[in-house]
Amino acid sequence: MRHVAVIGAGPGGLSAAATALGAGAHVTLVDAAEQPGGQYHRAPAPEFGATRPDRLQHGWRDFAARRDQVLGHSRCTFLPETSVWALEGADGIPVVHVLTGPADGAGRRRRTIEADALVLAVGAHDTMLPFPGWELPGVVTAGAAQALVKGERVAIGEQVVVAGTGPFLLPVAAALLGAGSTVRQVLEANRPGRIAAGWGARPWQLAAQAGKLPELAGYAATLARHRVPVLAGRAVVAARGDGRVEEVVTARLRDDWSAVPGTERTVAVDAVCVGHGFSPQLELPVAAGCALRAEPDGRRFVAVDADLRTSRPGVYAVGELTGIAGAPAARAEGALAGWLAAGGPDRPAVRALRRRVAAGRRFADRLAAAHPIGAGWPGWLRDDTVVCRCEDVRYRALRLAADQDPRVAKLGTRAGMGPCQGRICGPTVAALRSAEAARRRAAAGTAARGGNPHHRPIAQPIRLGELAAAADTEHSEEPS
């Protein structure tokens, strides 16, 4: 019997587990969180005793049914609160190293998992571009604000501006309204023409994602009911405050996201939620030796074929790792990959899944076309703007190091060397370096050398004591 290890129990991973079980495999499903669901179906903390979580989340009933079916299956081992901190081995399926226990607790249990196939479904971080004042308390990512509302029922502030780009801003604003905040404005950085061109071309290609429309219409209606202004072509370009955010400066943007002088406005707030899309968590695929593909805008994702196979035999990648297309696409990809990883035969239902996966890809392309990140955003920065929050690295230091070898620049500036290890600032730092390189190339023919901001042999923080406790490592061929 095949043993499939699925890393991540969000929409993608849970679907993969369900179909792998359906195809007759043993499944070990691993997730760092206490409960399955990932970002989309983030469950309220058990202490809240929520009796109707379906009233707060789209598609909760289907999710709960799938969750119960997977977790209750006799061939499924679910490892909650379990982080994969490394993948190891150049040949065959990588060995999965996990730690079980609270993320910041001591005495976590360390073990390894060996499987016949691996499905990586670890999702994304949200992307937040820096601007002057973004390090002030009260400035958070849109995803963090959403996670707090969904998981803890906590609104990040009373007077909030939600800004960035992409349809994700709408559920965040709606959730904040539901939690009692006043949303002063929702600002979409891309201009209406760009958004219309991105979504409007070849509309029939979006038919498969029509289910998203009522969800989006619901958010839009909520915003309209609360009279929240939604402005396109405007962004938060600075935050100010004494010890915490008190006001934001917004500005009208050109197509390339450079600010139009003279259009600045200030808005009084006690919180700002900013989201510029999502960046896939690529540490584990890179550790597994999976090839990446680059989008024209420089973003990187795991390279997969139409069946979600990566370049590493036996390793599949699904969900946000392969492209940003939301929960329905992640579910379709997970379902296909789980079935194939378990050795399930080709059937008409599998061909239908392939079509859903292809439709998800087209949706991802549309999202990227309608909500790109404009190249002019570094113009919002000042020399003293923090670009790496952990190590307090300023933009000027990064620019001065732009044509150094990436490792030398990292050691010299310390960008990406703090607790987040570049998970949050890495892609931004890389983008700023290449923008500076392009500027220098134009001026003097020099160029910054790139690096892979996702190369991180230790995927999750691990204590030295836990590393040293190698003798406790349990080696399991079969799920236990």
Ligand X SMILES: Cc1cc2nc3c(=O)[nH]c(=O)nc-3n(C[C@H](O)[C@H](O)[C@H](O)COP(=O)(O)OP(=O)(O)OC[C@H]3O[C@@H](n4cnc5c(N)ncnc54)[C@H](O)[C@@H]3O)c2cc1C
Tell me which residues touch ligand X (CB under 6 A). 7-13, 30-33, 38-40, 83-84, 121-126, 143, 146-147, 168, 171, 278, 281, 319-320, 326-327, 330, 459-460
In the complex with ligand X, the residue whose CB is nearer, 142 or 269, is 142
Q: How far is the CB of 114 from ligand X (least distance, A)?
A: 17
Cα separation, 186 vs 450, in Å, equals 35
The CB-of-175 to ligand X minimum distance in angstroms stands at 7
CB of 143 to ligand X, least distance (A): 3
- Pick the closer one to ligand X by CB: 412 or 461: 461
Q: In this complex, which beta carbon is closest to ligand X, that of residue 157 or of residue 319?
A: 319
Q: Which is nearer to ligand X, 39 or 250 (CB)?
A: 39
Give the C-alpha separation, 5 to 119, whole Å. Answer: 6
Closest by CA to 56, choosing from 175, 222, 226, is 175
What is the spatial distance between Cα 379 and Cα 390, in angstroms, rounded to a whole number?
Answer: 22
Least separation in angstroms between residue 360's CB and ligand X is 11
Q: How far is the CB of 125 from ligand X (least distance, A)?
A: 6
Nearer to ligand X by Cβ, of 79 and 435: the residue is: 79
Helices (H) and strands (E) counted in the chain, each on its own, are: 13, 23
Which of 375, 150, 372 has its CA nearest to residue 277? 372
Residue 79 or 398 having the CB closest to ligand X: 79
Kindly tell me which of 125 and 234 has the beta carbon lying closer to ligand X.
125
Q: How far is the CB of 168 from ligand X (least distance, A)?
A: 6
What is the DSSP secondary structure assignment for residue 207, as one 8-state letter?
G
Buried b (16+ CB within 10 A) or exposed e, 26-58: bbbbbbbbebbbbbbbbbbeeeeeeeebeeebb
| Positive/negative CA dihedral, 105, 106, 107, 113 | positive
Determine how β-strand 82-88 pairs with β-strand 76-79: unpaired
> Closest CB to ligand X among 332 and 393?
332
Token representation of residue 74: 């006799």
- Minimum CB distance to ligand X, residue 304 (Å): 13
**235 versus 327: smaller Cβ distance to ligand X:** 327
| Rounded least distance, CB 412 to ligand X, Å | 29
Residue 402 is encoded by which pair of tokens? 């732009």
Instruction: Tell the smallest beta-carbon distance from residue 154 to ligand X (Å).
Output: 14
In angstroms, how far is the first alpha carbon of the chain from the final one? 14
Q: Are strands 159-164 and 271-275 parallel, antiparallel or unpaired?
A: parallel
Dihedral over Cα of 228, 232, 233, 238: its sign: positive
How far apart CA 356 and CA 353 sit, in angstroms, is 5
Rounded to the nearest whole angstrom, what is the least distance from the CB of residue 298 to ligand X in the complex? 19
Euclidean distance between CA atoms 64 and 38, whole angstroms = 13
User: DSSP characters for 89-155?
Assistant: -SSSSPEEEEEES-TT-SS-EEEEE--SEEEE---EEEP----TTTTSTTEEEHHHHHHIIIII---
**CB of 193: closest distance to ligand X in angstroms?**
25
- The residue among 30 and 337 lying less far from ligand X, judged by its C-beta, is 30
Taking the least distance from each CB to ligand X, the nearer of 173 and 401 is 173
Q: In the numeric block, which tokens belong to residue 68? A: 């119960």
- Closest separation between CB of residue 423 and ligand X, Å? 10
3-class SS shares of the chain: helix, strand, coil, % to 5: 35, 20, 40
Tokens encoding 270:
């006690």
Structure tokens at 432: 């700023």
Indicate the residue among 81 and 436 with the shorter CB distance to ligand X: 81
Cβ atoms of 297 and 434 within 8 Å: the answer is no
